Amino acid sequence: MQFRHEVKHEISKSDMLILRQRLRSVMKADSHAVNGQYEIRSLYFDNLSDKALREKLDGVNIREKYRIRLYNNDPSIIHLERKFKHGGLGYKTSANLTPQQAQAIANGDVQWMSRSSDEVILGFYTRIRNEGLKATVIVDYTREPFVFAPGNVRVTLDYGIRTGMSCTDFLNPACVTVPVKDSPCILEVKWDNFLPDVIRDAVQLDGRRSAAFSKYAASRMYD
């Protein structure tokens, strides 16, 4: 299990313009990006008592969450992701889903998951059965990703955060999403064992501190 360091900062649009130029000069664009960016749609899950939301808002140090993620509205690549957080460290595993499987999970049809040989799918099925997890909210946003080989560094700029409010029809392109009011741009820096000085210097912004902003929590404020 390889934990990675993860730091997030809320930044302004002007900050993002400055950082974009700096990062382009020292890092490479992620190979999956199209014209330097891609669109992300995530479907998040919670139970009737909003356990995942409350843990995030309360700053619980050790958390686990599951989400289904789609890139550029392309249903040929859909991931079920398990994200484990321990303080400032994170670990992620994933499983590929077919469009039919993703739609089934969104609809609450999960019995088929018990027959899977994939540990991520089985782990999610166990959480669904034990905790009553269900599809809760869709979150859309734009991401500009940059990579740097030494330290396995990944820096992302996220913005244009939108929420599906009560819509959880994950694969329906007509599902209406609305902008999250006053949502900031988000700078996120991830690395393995060390963060090279050239990257540390590039992402430095005076007066900005790491923040616990959650796209999921911000989107749930519209419930």
pLDDT value at 208 more than 70:
no
The reported pLDDT for the residue numbered 124 is 97
Place of tokens 């939108």: 162
- List domains and CATH numbers for the chain: 4-220 (3.20.100.30)
pLDDT value at 147 more than 60:
yes
pLDDT value at 223 more than 60:
no
Residues 104, 107: Cα–Cα separation, whole Å: 5
Residues 143, 16: Cα–Cα separation, whole Å: 12
**Average pLDDT taken over every residue of the chain:** 91
Number of neighbours of residue 7 by Cβ within 10 angstroms: 15
User: What pLDDT, in 10s, does the model give residues 6-65?
Assistant: 999 899 999 999 999 999 999 999 988 889 999 999 999 999 888 888 888 787 888 899
| Of residues 175, 157, 158, the one with CA closest to residue 166 | 175
Residues across the chain: 223
pLDDT value at 101 more than 80:
yes
Q: How confident is the model at residue 5 (pLDDT cuts 50, 70, 90)?
A: very high
pLDDT, average across residues 210-214: 70
Residues 155, 157: Cα–Cα separation, whole Å: 7
Give the highest mean pLDDT range of 179-183, 204-208, 216-220: 179-183
The reported pLDDT for the residue numbered 162 is 94
- Quote the DSSP letter at residue 180: P
Task: Give the sign of the dihedral formed by CA 8, CA 9, CA 12, CA 14.
Answer: negative
The reported pLDDT for the residue numbered 56 is 81
The reported pLDDT for the residue numbered 1 is 62
